[in-house]
Each structure stands twice: as structure tokens, then as C-alpha cells.
Amino acid sequence: MKFSQFNAVIPYSEKFAVYNSFTQRVIFIDPTLKEVLDAAIHEGMDELAKVHPTFHQYLSDQEFLVEDHVNEIHKVKDRVRMVDENIDSFLLTINPSMNCNFKCWYCYETHVKGSRLNNDIIARINTFIFRTANIKGLKNFNLSLFGGEPLLYFEKDVIPVLDQYISQCRQHGLKPVIHFTTNGYLIDQAFVDYFKGKDVVPGFQITLDGYREKHDEVRYVSANKGSYFKIIENIKLLIRNAFPVQIRINYTEKNVDGSHLIVNEFSDIAPSIIQKYLRFNYHRVWQDGKHDNTYLLLEENVRKVEETGVTALTHESPNHVYESCYADKRNSAVINFNGDVFKCTARDFTQVKREGYLDNEGDIVWENNSLQRRMNAKFKNKPCLSCRIMPLCNGGCSQLAIEFMESVDDYCVYSGNENEKMRIVKNKIKEIVGV
């Protein structure tokens, strides 16, 4: 028997936690037993079987020990394939426009003025929707609207696609699942009424850049007019109509402190509505992604949000194998306003970076073997193959793997920082034990 590659042993509440990132199990041992375990890790688990057979058997039963011949990396690969090659679901993302009504300093996208769906592309998309909904054995067909700002030309450009999608889903016994990633500024009663009339409940991710003044420094209509209060009112409109909203707080070291006060804006909403339809999700702006002590402020603000009964998530507790990125999945596609096809929305949508296109018959043509190349991109990075949190991190996303495919350099999404990795382990343990 051998000590699993995916085990981590860390101090936790005056004891030591032994955690396995593949099985998601944790046990707690006292300092004396920790010394016994340290000796066994150094001398071999067969020695532990002699010195403390009961402990050895328990570790084995709980899969902290695995047979010597077991290739644990292959087990992760098998799990990843099971998730990402699943063909009974399809996720379609559409960018109705690459234009936006704001200009956030950290935005990675190239805004294209006047960009919007034309009648030809709408027809192609609607044919693609028809054919996808008709796939035999399809159980889930989800639609996401992205951009740019997807609500800029909602009535003329987006509604024709939504009408087709909802109709085709219902004809084929599929539940329409619609999600908007939007800045939330253009939401109004007519928008809500459209979905009420269709008896569809969409979900939303709406971004705030910290509390009030901090947000308005980034997202403003003019020099004298911010967007914070308008967006807050629109979020209230959505949750009052039982539309779930995830407020994504794009935080930096400068705006994270005080962000918990955003919850106070919803004091006029019934707690039962807030707890059911509203949650926070903190995500650090990538240009500000330093390894510093900002996480301490993050943890404090998350704690204060959760004290009000609102769920607050962070990216400090990943589960990227079972919850892998949409772009990692074979059955996903991002169709741009001009018919170009991509897999990833976290990069700009210039034509040179497209992975295919939607042809005149409404079929996706993947260029340069791009789809299979992406599906085969993972698990070629050496540091990932020896990492104890690989089942959580998944070696990063397929987009990152592709970008490093031709490089001689190894990479790590945590810059090889073991303290960062152990902080993730600690957060996972907190989730499991609820403390």
C-alpha cells in the first residue's frame, strides 16, 4: 500500500487534518498519531501495518492508502473523460453583440461598435438550435447569453433566438434553461414580462465592482452618473419576480473591503426571497491576481455576507473536475454575433482566434481539428501530474493547456505556490465539516 498522492496533512483546530482531494474525505488525528503517520510516510506504509495495524486498516478503508499498482493519475483522467465527454447535454453560448455600454478597465474583450446579430446569422443559429434539440438522447440543452452586453439589442436580435430555443425545447421534452451574463443596467419590466409570458425562469450573473463609490469608479454612465443604484434596483426587480441572481463581485485589493455592505441594499426585500434567489460570488480581477494577503479581507467580507443568510462563494475552493469549465466539454460552443465559433468566453473574440464557424446550413464547422485538439490538450503539464490538488484544479482549463501546448515552459495556475494550495485544502475541509 502507498500513501495517496492526493493526500494533504495540515494543522486544523489543535489537531491535524488528513484530506484527500480525489475522494473529498477528511479525518482528524491527534499530534501523537501524526508522528506515527509521518514516520510511515518516510519509511513506508508496510511499517505502519506492523506498528499500528488498526490505523493502517482505517486509512486503507477510507482510501487514504491505495494499492501500489494503482495509477492515481489515470483515475483522475477517467473521471475527467466521464464528465467532459458526456453527450447527453449541450451548452450553447451566444454573443448577440460585442459592443457594451460600459468600458471597464480590466475587460479583456475587444468591443466592436455596432456589432449585432443580422437576419442571416439569426437564421443559422435557429437552424442549429432546431438540429441540436432533435439530437436523439439529449437530456439537457442550456442556452447562455454573453457578450459584450447581451441586452443591448434584446428585443430585435435576442428575442427571435429565444423564441426558437424555448419552442424547440418544449417540442422535444427539454426544459428551457437560460442564463444571462450581463452588467444588469438595461433590465426593465418589459424584459421581465417577456419571460413571465413564456413561463421561463432565467438565471443571471450580474457584476458589481465593490460597494457604491468603488463600483461607480469603474462602471459609470457619465462623469456625473454612476450605475450602482440602477443595477441594484434591477437586481431587486429580478429577485422579486423569483429570478435567481448571482452577484459577481469583481474584487481587487482596493475594493474588496466593505463589499459586504452591498447586502444592506436589499434590506427592503423579504429575507426568504434574498436567501432563495440571491447569492454572491467573489472573483478576483485577473490583472490584480497577486499572491498577497488580500484573501484575509476577502474571508472577512465573505463571513459578514454569510452572517446575513446570503450564500457567498469564492474561487478559493475549486472543484474543477466534476464542475469543469464549459469550454472543456465536447458538447459546448460559443457562437459570436458574426457566426464565428469559439469554445472559451474568457478570451477576446477576434476572428484570428476562432475555432470554427456556423455555416449556411446551421452546422458548426470546426477548423484545423480544433475541437479534438482541445479535448486532448489536458494532462501534458508535468507539475500537474505530481500535484496533490490535481483532482480539484484539473490542471487548469483546456484553454490554458492549449496556450501552453507549444511552450517548453511548465505552468501552474497557482504559480507553484504551496501556501496557496494548502489554503485551498483548508477551505475544502471547512466546507466538509461546516466549520
* Higher pLDDT, residue 84 or 288: 84
Say whether both 45 and 166 belong to one domain: no
Say whether both 206 and 299 belong to one domain: yes
Model confidence pLDDT, tens digit, residues 105-161: 888 777 888 999 999 999 999 999 999 999 999 999 999 999 999 999 999 999 999
Residue 109 is part of which domain span? 84-366
Least trusted range by pLDDT, from 33-42, 99-108, 254-263, 275-284: 99-108
Domain assignment present for 195 = yes
Say whether both 217 and 88 belong to one domain: yes
Arithmetic mean of pLDDT, 10-33? 96
Say whether both 10 and 98 belong to one domain: no
Arithmetic mean of pLDDT, 267-274? 96
The fraction of the chain above a pLDDT of 90, given in percent, is 88
Average pLDDT, the chain: 95
pLDDT at 182 over 90: yes
Domain assignment present for 391 = no
Least trusted range by pLDDT, from 90-94, 203-207, 213-217, 348-352: 348-352
Residue among 408, 414, 394, 213 nearest 321 (CA):
394
Say whether both 283 and 233 belong to one domain: yes
pLDDT of residue 107: 87
pLDDT of residue 331: 98
Domain assignment present for 431 = no
Arithmetic mean of pLDDT, 84-104? 95
User: What is the pTM (predicted TM-score) of this model?
Assistant: 0.93
Domain assignment present for 37 = yes
pLDDT of residue 141: 98
Q: Which of 308, 336, 366 is the last residue of a domain?
A: 366
pLDDT-derived band of residue 369, with 50, 70 and 90 as boundaries? very high
Say whether both 173 and 229 belong to one domain: yes
Place of cell 447527453: 88
Domain assignment present for 430 = no
Say whether both 156 and 263 belong to one domain: yes
pLDDT at 261 over 90: yes
Determine whether 379 is exposed, middle or buried from the number of CB atoms within 10 Å of its CB (0-12, 13-18, 19+).
middle
Q: Which of 48, 70, 92 is the last residue of a domain?
A: 70
Three-class secondary structure assignment of the chain: CEECCCEEEEEECCEEEEEECCCCEEEEECHHHHHHHHHHHHHCHHHHHHHCHHHHHHHHHCCCEECCCCCHHHHHHHHHHHHHCCCCEEEEEECCCCCCCCCCCCCCCCCCCCCCCCHHHHHHHHHHHHHHHCCCCCCEEEEEECCCCCCCCHHHHHHHHHHHHHHHHHHCCCCCEEEEEECCCCCCHHHHHHHHHHCCCCEEEEEECCCCHHHHHHCEEECCEECHHHHHHHHHHHHHCCCCEEEEEEECCCCCCCHHHHHHHHCCCCHHHHHHHEEEEEEECHHHCCCCCHHHHHHHHHHHHHCCCCEEEECCCCCCCCCCCHHHCCCEEEECCCCEEECCCCCCCCHHHCCEEECCCCCEEECCCHHHHHHCCCCCCHHHHCCCCHHHHCCCCHHHHHHCCCCCCCCCCCCCCHHHHHHHHHHHHHHHHCC
Q: Which of 334, 366, 398 is the last residue of a domain?
A: 366
Say whether both 348 and 203 belong to one domain: yes
Say whether both 34 and 142 belong to one domain: no
Domain assignment present for 372 = no
Say whether both 114 and 23 belong to one domain: no
Domain assignment present for 203 = yes
pLDDT at 48 over 90: yes
Task: Specify the number of domains making up the chain.
Answer: 2
CATH number at residue 184: 3.20.20.70
pLDDT at 164 over 70: yes
Domain assignment present for 36 = yes
Say whether both 243 and 328 belong to one domain: yes
Say whether both 166 and 208 belong to one domain: yes
pLDDT-derived band of residue 435, with 50, 70 and 90 as boundaries? low
pLDDT-derived band of residue 57, with 50, 70 and 90 as boundaries? very high
Model confidence pLDDT, tens digit, residues 205-257: 999 999 999 999 999 999 899 999 999 999 999 999 999 999 999 999 999 99
